[in-house]
């Protein structure tokens, strides 16, 4: 007797999950110089920790949350951490802002469909009156 083994159809598109890939980004710094950085995607808990720290009334927690995100996300081309938390805290504020923006771009949803915000900008859901 033979058994029918059905392979389960993936319920969710793989683009919905963080990737193990290392993302290369050219980041323009405040002085106009461009530097190449490598960024690893982080799980949702790391990002929630960053946003919670940014929303805190404690300025030390705000500063720490940005440095923690940078230290976790910035890596070498092989994906190994490139900055310690101590080094990330020592970065100039403008550099922290630029790196945080690049990290945010890497974490933007890059799925197959357009985002609701993009659809709204295109006017697809606006009245034609």
The pLDDT tens digits for 44-58 are: 999 999 999 999 999
Strands ordered across the beta sheet of 74-75: 22-28, 34-40, 74-75
Tokens describing residue 27: 């980041």
- pTM assigned to the model: 0.73
> SS3 of 122, please?
helix
Could you report the per-residue pLDDT of 67-109, keeping only the tens digit for each?
999 999 999 999 999 999 999 999 999 999 999 999 999 988 6
Top CATH class, 20-109: alpha beta
Instruction: State the pLDDT at residue 9.
Output: 61
| Beta carbons within 8 Å of 125's beta carbon, 6+ residues apart | 119
Pairing relationship of beta strands 22-28 and 34-40 according to DSSP bridges: antiparallel
Q: Which residues contact 71 (CB under 8 A, 6 or more apart)?
A: 81, 83, 84, 85, 87, 88
Higher pLDDT, 2 or 69: 69
């Amino acid at each position: 007797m033979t058994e029918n083994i059905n392979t389960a159809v993936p319920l969710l598109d793989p683009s919905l999950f963080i990737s193990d890939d290392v993302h290369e980004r050219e980041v323009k710094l405040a002085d106009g110089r461009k530097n190449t950085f490598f960024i690893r995607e982080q799980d949702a808990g790391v990002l929630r920790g960053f946003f919670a720290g940014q929303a805190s009334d404690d300025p030390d927690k705000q500063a720490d949350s940005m440095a923690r995100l940078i230290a976790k996300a910035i890596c070498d081309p092989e994906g190994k951490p490139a900055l310690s938390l101590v080094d990330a805290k020592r970065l100039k504020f403008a550099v922290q802002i630029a790196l945080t923006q690049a990290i945010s771009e890497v974490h933007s949803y890059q799925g197959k469909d357009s985002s609701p915000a993009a659809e709204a900008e295109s006017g697809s859901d606006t009245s034609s009156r």
